[in-house]
């Protein structure tokens, strides 16, 4: 009896290990920057006292976020959908959230699947507006005059990278990547990423790496997925920042670049004009 019990326990343990291994089967890797990253300017919020009051220390632009080891954040990594071939997977029911906090978007870069719920929050007790520059998906442009725990935005319908801006505070900028499958991730501050592979057949795939400054047209790397696992690292050349323009409509406007009345329409009592169709 003791032998049989021990055998059953061993089988259960083995099954648990197998399930655990399968659960942690992912595509992983790291994105690095080779060379000195371009210097990010401080954002001058002085013309908007409500914003400046929330930042005792200067806030820098987020176009390139890299540490002293070259780890590059805010890179969207995704499996490339080959023409005529569908990838499995359904959209998560968990909403993707874009927040406005301290007159900055959080996160600066996010990714979602078409059909996934999408909310926009406002943590600031004053006016922001959220203006997407989507061209494939229906654009959206609406105001949030005070704190808002989450306004529902119609789910995205098709794959696209696009910018979101605030017409009240022109330095505010965020980017969204939309995909028709669930196999994507955004690199963390340490440059690492993890793409969950549940439901993805083993095989050879192409990974796309998008970055607003270094790869507004995604660059590609090959990856072989076996037993649900794969690993790909990628390195961008820092010197490419001088030659590579930022993504379309990606200029970060500093408060000091405009007159106060132009920088913050709300400061003069004028509400921002909310367009029905995003300008290109």
What does the alpha-carbon distance between residue 168 and residue 130 come to, in Å, rounded to a whole number?
9
Helix, coil or strand: residue 23: helix
What does the alpha-carbon distance between residue 154 and residue 138 come to, in Å, rounded to a whole number?
9
Arithmetic mean of pLDDT over the chain = 84
Buried-exposed string 57-89: b where 16+ CB fall within 10 A, e elsewhere = eebebbbbbbeeebbbbbbbbbbbbeeeeebeb
Q: Does the CA dihedral 21-199-161-221 come out positive or negative?
A: positive
Q: What are phi and psi of 2, to 5 degrees?
A: -65, -35
Whether the bond into 101 is cis, omega within 30 of 0: no
Q: Domain span at residue 174?
A: 26-268
pLDDT reported for residue 117: 97
Q: How many CB atoms lie within 10 A of CB 176?
A: 23
11: in domain: no
19: in domain: no
1: in domain: no
Is the pLDDT at 110 greater than 70, yes or no?
yes
Q: Which of 74-88, 116-130, 194-208, 219-233 has the lowest mean pLDDT?
A: 74-88
pLDDT reported for residue 273: 43
pLDDT digits (tens, 9 = 90+) for 228-245: 999 999 999 998 765 555
Q: What is the CATH number of the domain that holds 211?
A: 2.60.40.420
pLDDT reported for residue 241: 66
Per-residue confidence band for 142, with pLDDT thresholds at 50, 70 and 90:
very high
Per-residue confidence band for 261, with pLDDT thresholds at 50, 70 and 90:
very low
The total number of structural domains that make up the chain: 1
pLDDT reported for residue 25: 82
What does the alpha-carbon distance between residue 146 and residue 136 come to, in Å, rounded to a whole number?
30
What does the alpha-carbon distance between residue 205 and residue 27 come to, in Å, rounded to a whole number?
11
pLDDT digits (tens, 9 = 90+) for 171-215: 999 999 999 999 999 999 999 999 999 999 999 999 999 999 999
Is the pLDDT at 275 greater than 90, yes or no?
no
What does the alpha-carbon distance between residue 128 and residue 161 come to, in Å, rounded to a whole number?
22
222: in domain: yes
Nearest to 170 by CA among 276, 54, 247, 261: 261
Is the pLDDT at 14 greater than 80, yes or no?
no
pLDDT reported for residue 190: 98
95: in domain: yes
18: in domain: no
H or E segment to which residue 14 belongs: helix 2-23
16: in domain: no
10: in domain: no
Residues 43 and 171 sit within 8 Å (Cβ to Cβ):
yes
Q: Is the pTM of this model over 0.85?
A: no
Is the pLDDT at 1 greater than 70, yes or no?
no
Q: What are phi and psi of 160, to 5 degrees?
A: -175, 150
């Amino acid at each position: 009896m003791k032998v049989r019990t021990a055998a059953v326990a061993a089988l259960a343990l083995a099954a648990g290990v197998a399930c655990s291994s399968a659960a942690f089967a992912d595509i992983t890797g790291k994105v690095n920057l080779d060379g000195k990253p371009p210097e990010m300017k401080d954002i001058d919020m002085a013309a908007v006292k409500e914003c400046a009051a929330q930042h005792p220390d200067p806030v820098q632009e987020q176009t390139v976020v890299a540490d002293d080891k070259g780890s590059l954040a805010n890179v969207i990594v995704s499996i490339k959908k080959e023409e005529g071939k569908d990838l499995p997977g359904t959209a998560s029911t968990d909403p993707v959230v874009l927040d406005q906090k301290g007159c900055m978007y959080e996160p600066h870069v996010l990714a979602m699947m078409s059909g996934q719920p999408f909310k926009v929050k406002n943590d600031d007790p004053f006016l922001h507006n959220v203006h997407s520059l989507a061209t494939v998906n229906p654009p959206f442009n609406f105001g949030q005059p005070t704190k808002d725990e989450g306004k529902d935005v119609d789910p995205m319908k098709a794959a696209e990278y696009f910018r979101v801006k605030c017409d009240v505070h022109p330095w505010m900028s965020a980017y969204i990547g939309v995909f028709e499958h669930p196999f994507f991730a955004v690199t963390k501050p340490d440059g690492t990423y993890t793409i969950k592979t549940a439901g993805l057949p083993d095989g050879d795939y192409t990974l796309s790496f998008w970055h607003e400054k270094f790869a507004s047209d995604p660059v590609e790397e090959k990856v072989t997925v076996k037993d649900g696992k794969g690993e790909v690292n990628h390195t961008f050349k820092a010197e490419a920042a001088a030659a590579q323009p930022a993504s379309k409509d990606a200029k970060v406007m500093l408060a000091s670049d405009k007159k106060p009345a132009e920088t913050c329409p709300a400061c003069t009592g004028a509400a921002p004009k909310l367009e029905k169709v995003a300008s290109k």
